[in-house]
Amino acid sequence: MFATVAIVGAGPAGLLLARMLHNAGIDSIVLEHRDRAYVEHRQRAGMLEQGTVDALRACGAAERLDREGLVHHGIELRFDRRSHHLDFPALTGGRSVMIYAQTEIVKDLVALQLAEGGPLLFEAEAIAIEDDTLTFVRDGVKERLGFDFVVGCDGFHGISRAAIPDARVYEREYPYSWLGILADVPPSCEELIYAHSERGFALHSMRSPTVSRLYLQVPNDTDPDDWPDDRIWDELDARFAVDTDWKLMRGPITQKAVTPMRSFVTEPMRHGRLFLAGDAAHIVPPTGAKGLNLAISDVVTLAKALQHWFTTGSPDLLNTYSDTCLRRVWRAEHFSYFMTTLLHRTPDQTPFDTRLQLSQLHRIADSRHAAAELAENYAGLP
């Protein structure tokens, strides 16, 4: 078995790369160790930068996104029981963001790959990457796949990251996690709410006009079973409280999970024929909504470099892939760190620390320059 490009992992990064390569006339095979049902239903991010939306449209994967996605023209910051709206188009020269769940992106890309693209092999576990061969196991049988290039889109726990020798690793663990819920209730807001509170951070997001996605800052190692539904809604009410008649809508909670907060980068993102993309190379805390968008940016950059190589024979863009991606990765890491430390309370938080946070929040609310800096990073840099 042979593929010009072997792709490990059928998340949005691997699937979008396969789609872009197919459109450019470059063959690929995608290997995914989970089954299709698992891949299409794992809950992940849902905020898309303008560049991510543009990439999905350009490759013909945005028909349902354009029909069902929710365009957002900003976010709301809440602190000191007051609200402040950031108008992204006014602050960024016209850019907005869109809410469309990662699960739906994956469903769209899987359907396109199976209908038009190269092989997409579910329940095929990659176990070794050598110079020009990938070994995987399917139905209990070892198989070998030859390639010109291999791309690791298999996340932090996949085999691709470990196949880069002498990689440099940078990481940070945060002393809190997020308790995230999905609820069958219409959103209580038109755009995302980021709340700074003496009780801790809270985020109100959404998945559709009828499904809300909300998060609470909780201690690490929190057991979701210790948070019955009424306790979650009461705590959200307290953290979103403002001196207006705004009301948080309550409804049945259908999913509940705790997500640790961490930052991680591995350098370089290339070794010989092997390229890393997405969570295999970097992880950000979700506060800045950058994880999915960074993964998409990686594969857009890589697809252009591969097309350039096959068209011209020049390796220039492949040789600069890692440096090009890492410049954007570190900008996103910093922005995610900024948003996280601005809005969360640490276990040893002092009144001085809180006043510094509030000072920065007031600066964003009062200064167009500070607001524009946040908006430009949130909506997505080039």
Catalytic residues: 72, 194, 286, 290, 378
2-8 and 28-32 strand pairing: parallel
For the chain, what percentages of helix, strand and coil (3-state, to nearest 5) are there? 40, 30, 30
Tokens of 301: 């950059």
User: In the chain, what's the furthest Cα-to-Cα distance?
Assistant: 65
**Spatial distance between the Cα atoms of 67 and 61, rounded to a whole number of angstroms:** 12
- Report the alpha-carbon distance of residue 322 to residue 330 in Å, rounded: 12
CA 65 to chain centre: 16
Q: For residues 87 and 73, what is the distance between their CA atoms, to the nearest angstrom?
A: 6
Residue type, 132: D
Query: Of the candidates 211, 223, 141, 145, which has an alpha carbon nearest to the alpha carbon of residue 177?
Result: 223
List, as one string, the DSSP characters of 40-101. HH-----EE-HHHHHHHHHTT--HHHHHH-EEE-EEEEEETTEEEEEEHHHHHTS--EEE--
C-beta atoms surrounding 364 within 10 Å: 20
Helix (H) or strand (E) holding 270: strand 270-271
d(CA 255, CA 215): 12
- The secondary element (H helix, E strand) that includes residue 243 is none
Region of 373 please: left (phi>0), alpha (psi -120 to 50) or beta. Answer: alpha
Please classify residue 4 by burial: count the beta carbons closer than 10 Å to its beta carbon, then call 0-12 exposed, 13-18 middle and 19+ buried: middle
Q: Which amino acid is at 183?
A: A
